[in-house]
Structure 1
């Protein structure tokens, strides 16, 4: 069976299958929001079916062509269906006809469509034979974009590139160039003068290995060095040096540039801020050395400022040393005065006690009373022995024995009084003691207490007197002084400003700021 004798069903099967595949492909493209174009139509004549409308996409594949006017013969040549749609279009490859029958609809017919999606043109040949193969599926041609959309994308890319390089020039190259131009052409030379010194004492000893392990010098001058380090950066020093040298005159030199000069009519706070920029002070904890670097627009000015700093440092250390010596001696003298007053008070109390007791030394009175009691007891014992020997011979009523008894009674009374005088515990004796007629034992106790207080006060006075002498000796030996290691130098070449370092620093900071700005802008754009 030849192609001319195929049944119509067989002729229509292949185009229908191709149309279905084209319709599915068109729907997929429609989901992406892209337009399509109509496929090949059959039997040219009337225009083909409508393609995809704008915004919703068109149908790609074989568009359904309208029926043309039938001629007397069968069939007409198939022609490509042309559709209007979005930026993507699919076009079918027409079959090359082998035989044509005459008719009104002969020739190539173009099917054109636009607007909403329409069904694809079937392109069947109604009642005609076409010699030659029929395509099983249409050829899809994908266009990358419409000319206007491509132009907009190109302009957007060129604009972004221009803004990128413009921002780089404005934020990186321009600040770096201005900084380099100012530093290398406008900035004035600055000269540096250096000096170093340390606080030392006459009795300072070498640090032990343990002291070095624990971190530097731990002598008594460390506190003074730290105090001096803080003083060199303080407002009082700036005020003193400003009165001596006139800092505004030094740092407003005719050769000074506007950026690094001090300026006129500055407040003391602004001068202190500028001082800490122009004068660098560092302290080495291990050695206790203080390093000072002063900068000025003239080498002589820098040296004069460094010399003024050295002089003020020496003056401060001398004042601290004198004050420390005076404080040490003053404290010792105060202790001596207290001890002397205590001695005077103890002596006064002892004198009053002696006057009240009417005795220079109560202990001697007690010793004398004890000796008297011993004598009285010896006499009493002798009289008792005489009385006992005569009693048997003379009788109890003898006048001689009566006299002996009276003598013994008198001796007993005298012994009793002497004993009560030495030690008595009755209230009346205590009352008499308060009136100055008390027992010798109580008086001896009071005298001993006063004597101990006097001795203690005298010992304290002796110790305080020795402390005063020692404080004076220590003050002379512990005198602080400023040891100068490096005298103020005079520069011959300018060391500041460090033009290369500052130029690189400005360029690096500008580049960093520019990169951060681009990151922020990109992040904001992505969020939108």
Structure 2
């Protein structure tokens, strides 16, 4: 019995010794290696944070979703997602390389291969490296985001963070500019055309009034014919105004434009016939002069209205440019970090220690169960 007890105690001592050796190897080994890596090889990093929101003159509207406490997507929220993707993109890396010393910040020699990026590295490699050094957290409630930029010196960290904000703001400002620039150019061209027509008709009317208009009243039939022409001219002016307004809304060739153009053509035909009848009425010379004067006056008034409408449309486009203009508000601007993460990352050593201990404990438990069943 003594021999059996002694053998059992000996086996238990050997098992505990094996467990102790395996614990030292499996727990302390990786923890020690990781600690040596952090202390001797990996350079400390400096982190700069900044928070911004995208704002514009467009006011947000309440809807059923907001009444239920659900944040509805807005154009500013969509722009924030665009900015988030832009910060992680090749375009951002290219701008940081060109303007903000990206290669200088990450091109310094280091024993840690993961902390060094060659200045000659491809854009794809630089983008992959950059995505490990920047973190973007979007906030749909404020239509903005918070960025965290890591570098190996405080100056590099804050410089890159400011560069990210500057390039993001440039992107936000350029989003509506292209479409609005095309609208402004088209509106200015329309104003120039209408102004030229207006000036030509004004000069023609002034010349006619100075040379031909006599002011002699026509007979009753001629006056009736002139009244008919004036009525047709009024309808024609109204249709032309509707056509000018429709051209600001519909694309060329639209059915609405074609219908208005047909109505204008029909009214012009009726006007020509009415003018011919009025010219054949008694007092045709006076009637003809009155008709021609009214025709010139109506065309001048229509050109004046079209010119004023084009000016108002151009002003409306420019006001819309102001309304749609967006900008970035950095309510937490980037500040130079006062310290590195050297002490904070020592907590990672404790995390590695706990993690390896858990893994070793599970493996030791499974091994003991299998061994007991085998025996």
Task: Report if TM-score (shorter chain) is over 0.5.
Answer: yes
Alignment partner of 1:359 is 2:205: no
Alignment partner of 1:289 is 2:144: yes
1-side partners of 2:35 and 2:131: how far apart?
Answer: 25
Q: What SS is found at the alignment partner of 1:168?
A: helix
Q: What SS is found at the alignment partner of 2:175?
A: helix
8 Å contact 1:325–1:479 — kept in the other structure? no
8 Å contact 1:248–1:262 — kept in the other structure? no
2-side partners of 1:327 and 1:523: how far apart?
Answer: 76
- Which residue of 2 is the match for residue 193 of structure 1? 48
- Which residue of 1 is the match for residue 323 of structure 2? 477
Match of 1:258 among 108, 112, 118: 112
8 Å contact 1:207–1:218 — kept in the other structure? no
8 Å contact 2:31–2:353 — kept in the other structure? yes
- Which residue of 2 is the match for residue 445 of structure 1? none
Alignment partner of 1:172 is 2:27: yes
Alignment partner of 1:498 is 2:351: no
Alignment partner of 1:247 is 2:102: yes
- Which residue of 2 is the match for residue 335 of structure 1? 250
- Which residue of 1 is the match for residue 243 of structure 2? none
- Which residue of 1 is the match for residue 264 of structure 2? 347
Question: Which structure shows the higher helix fraction?
Answer: 2
- Which residue of 1 is the match for residue 135 of structure 2? 280
Match of 2:367 among 521, 524, 528: 521
8 Å contact 1:199–1:225 — kept in the other structure? yes
2-side partners of 1:485 and 1:206: how far apart?
Answer: 23
Q: What SS is found at the alignment partner of 1:204?
A: coil
- Aligned-residue CA RMSD (Å): 4.0
- Which residue of 2 is the match for residue 238 of structure 1? 93
8 Å contact 1:199–1:481 — kept in the other structure? yes
Q: What SS is found at the alignment partner of 2:331?
A: strand
- Which residue of 1 is the match for residue 167 of structure 2? 312
TM-score normalised according to structure 2 size: 0.62
Q: State the Cα distance separating 1:191 from its structure 2 match.
A: 1.6
For structure 2, the 5+ residue unaligned runs are 188-246, 282-304
- Which residue of 1 is the match for residue 77 of structure 2? 222
Match of 1:203 among 58, 75, 83: 58
For residues 461-482 of structure 1, the C-alpha deviation after alignment (integer angstroms, 9 at most, x for no partner) is: 9999976653442222221122
- Distance change (3 Å), C-alpha of 1:359 and 1:262: same
2-side partners of 1:347 and 1:337: how far apart?
Answer: 17
For residues 87-132 of structure 1, the C-alpha deviation after alignment (integer angstroms, 9 at most, x for no partner) is: xxxxxxxxxxxxxxxxxxxxxxxxxxxxxxxxxxxxxxxxxxxxxx
- Distance change (3 Å), C-alpha of 1:175 and 1:288: same
- Distance change (3 Å), C-alpha of 1:493 and 1:511: same
For residues 146-168 of structure 1, the C-alpha deviation after alignment (integer angstroms, 9 at most, x for no partner) is: x4x66654543333222101110
8 Å contact 2:35–2:349 — kept in the other structure? yes
8 Å contact 2:43–2:112 — kept in the other structure? no
2-side partners of 1:333 and 1:354: how far apart?
Answer: 27
2-side partners of 1:166 and 1:460: how far apart?
Answer: 95
Matching of residues 458-477 of structure 1 within 5 Å: 470-477=316-323
Q: How many residues align?
A: 286
Alignment partner of 1:507 is 2:361: no
Q: State the Cα distance separating 1:250 from its structure 2 match.
A: 1.3
More displaced stretch, 477-486 vs 510-519? 477-486
Q: State the Cα distance separating 1:489 from its structure 2 match.
A: 1.4
Q: State the Cα distance separating 1:301 from its structure 2 match.
A: 0.8
1-side partners of 2:102 and 2:319: how far apart?
Answer: 43
- Which residue of 2 is the match for residue 430 of structure 1? none
